[in-house]
Chain A
Amino acid sequence: MSDAASVSGHSTNKAGRFVYVSGVVLLCAWVLIPLYLLLVNTLSSPEAVNSFPKSFLPGFDLGSLEFFAGFSGMLVALKNSIIVAAITMVLSILIGAPAGYALSRFEFRGKEVFRLLILLTRAFPLPLLALPLAVLFIRTGLDDTAFGLALVHTTLAVPFAVLITFSLFSGIPLELEEAAWTLGCTRLTAFTKVVLPLILPGITASAIFAFVISWNEVFAAAVLTIENRTLTAFLLQTLSESPLHLKFAGGFILVVPALVFIFAVRKYLFAMWGIANR
């Protein structure tokens, strides 16, 4: 190969690397800087939050957080959030995992359309549905209940549960199940003895993801509940009239659990996206 070619090859390589690194840095900054500012302001005294110029180091003032701990309704809202998220988690796995299994194991008419439809449910804007839903819920008595809200959150979480479990089941060769069948298993025992142990970590991840979706959801929660508000809806309502430093602290309380959960299940989210890209 000629010198010129190898030099230019080298420099495109270098340029590519530069674009890559700066891309990574930019994306990280985009996510991390707001989070850092949120942290700084949460841990600063009210005066520091409102003053100018800003400090970029946290002041380790726990005043704002303490305020929330003592805020009436806060703990009830937290409890509601957890209940709703837990119901969402259970429902979306109970509905999503069998659908994911069916998609990966059976050939049926309209399978591709079905897969597309699952994704399309996410294209429906919730605000459009909010009013009819609210009316329907009031008629059936589901309004302002944790279960009713969990139902809505389940519809949001199920597509992801289906896609994640579909990719997990697809990763388990059918031969393993077939081998179990020839060794004396029924479809059910083969599932519990072979597939389930292999898939359990992934199911857990998909459950946590459903939990996070419910935890983060604010629109349906704000529209469909009044007394039994979840944390997001509660904070949204309260914080709009609160001073700045409390807004920061409230935001922080919302973000952290979601971040921790997502971090815990990141491996499986990549798996899901890998499938969705195909």
Chain B
Amino acid sequence: MAVIEIKNVAKRFGEYQALQDINLTIEDQEFMVLLGASGCGKSTLLRIICGLETATEGEVWIGGKRVDHLPPKDRGISMVFQNYAVFPHLTVFENIAFGLRMKKLPDDEVTRRVERTAGLMHIDQLLQRYSGELSGGQRQRVAVARALAMEPDVILMDEPLSNLDALLRMEMRAELKGVLAESNTTAIYVTHDQVEAMSMADRISVMHKGEIVQAASPIEVYRNPAAEFVAGFIGNPPMNFLPAAPAGSGQWHVAGQVIEGPQVDRALRFAVRPEDVRPAETGLTAVARIVEPLGAHLLVTCDIEGEMFRAVLDSDLAIRSGDKLILAPQPDRVRWFDPETTKAVA
């Protein structure tokens, strides 16, 4: 049982506030993905959980035990480092065996585990090499194998697949997920690849400037972003925003149209995903500017009253740059945000 609880954690580096007021519970055996732009504090949070960095404020609990003051080795955690940290003076075999030897496991058990994890990571041909003789992607896989071989309660991974080519990445993604599910490990996985996040996560925590903006299932994060940042960060292309002015009793003026919305009496922002609009008789009036055929779809970047608006449309439509379009948003997919707080409004 390894539930991870992070309570009111904050971290300052001198004047710089790297993390503020992080509250997060990761359930036993959950696969949690931390997603966020570069520099938002993902690695810092992992390092605090792992014990390589001490939080300025707050508490970290693992498996019902407060661990703030324990050294990394006593936390039952394995970590895959962003820049691999493969020991250069040891072979791949000895690298993977390192932690097992520290635990004083018998030799045959060590060999068994090393060979198993090396097989999973497709590096069983490289066991006698030194890290200087490996490519970046191979080193990265050694680092993952070394962490997996420990069979820990909790595994923390900092962009473990970032250096692999697209094909291998897709393959390893599925395998890693399978291995972790099978081994009953609680995992925290850092990435800034949203496809990776979507496809692997039980839950995604979206981080922005040292805060967790939303922690929810991938589909929830996608469909119901809690803040404009999430809406703009997740999805490719991201969500569209348009200004909306109140027209009384839950009606809103959006680009000359009246649309049903929440009952509040201040200006809001209307938002809809590019794939949730359809050409229709009535709707938002748009002028197509750039038309990009993507095979399955047509990505049309348009102009609605001076605002940029992207639509993903059927590729059979014959649309050319300069054409006038009427786009109808799918009513149940429309979202509203408060421009003051940037938070979602129900």
Contacts and interface: CB of A to CB of B under 8 A. Distances in A.
B79 A179 contact: yes
A186 B73 CA distance: 7
Contact of A198 (B78, B85, B89): B89
A142 B225 CA distance: 77
Interface residues of B, number: 23
A184 B85 contact: no
Interface residues of A, number: 17
B217 to A, nearest CB: 29
Given A184-B102, A185-B102, A189-B102, A179 B87 contact: yes
Given A176-B87, A180-B87, 10 more contacts: A175-B85, A179-B143, A179-B146, A181-B71, A182-B50, A182-B72, A182-B79, A184-B99, A186-B71, A186-B73
A176 B50 CA distance: 15
A198 B86 CA distance: 13
Interface string A179-205: 111111110010001100110000000
A173 interface: yes
A173 B85 contact: yes
Contacts of B342: none
Given A175-B83, A189-B102, A183 B78 contact: yes
B81 A197 contact: no
Contacts of A193: 98
A150 B138 CA distance: 50
A8 to B, nearest CB: 43
Contacts of A185: 73, 102
Contacts of B72: 178, 181-182
Nearest to B73: A184
Interface of A: 173, 175-176, 178-186, 189, 193-194, 197-198
Contacts of B98: 180, 183, 193
B85 A179 contact: yes
Nearest to A189: B102
Contacts of A184: 73, 99, 102-103
B150 interface: yes
Interface string B13-25: 0000000000000
A176 B102 contact: no
Contact of B150 (A173, A183, A198): A183
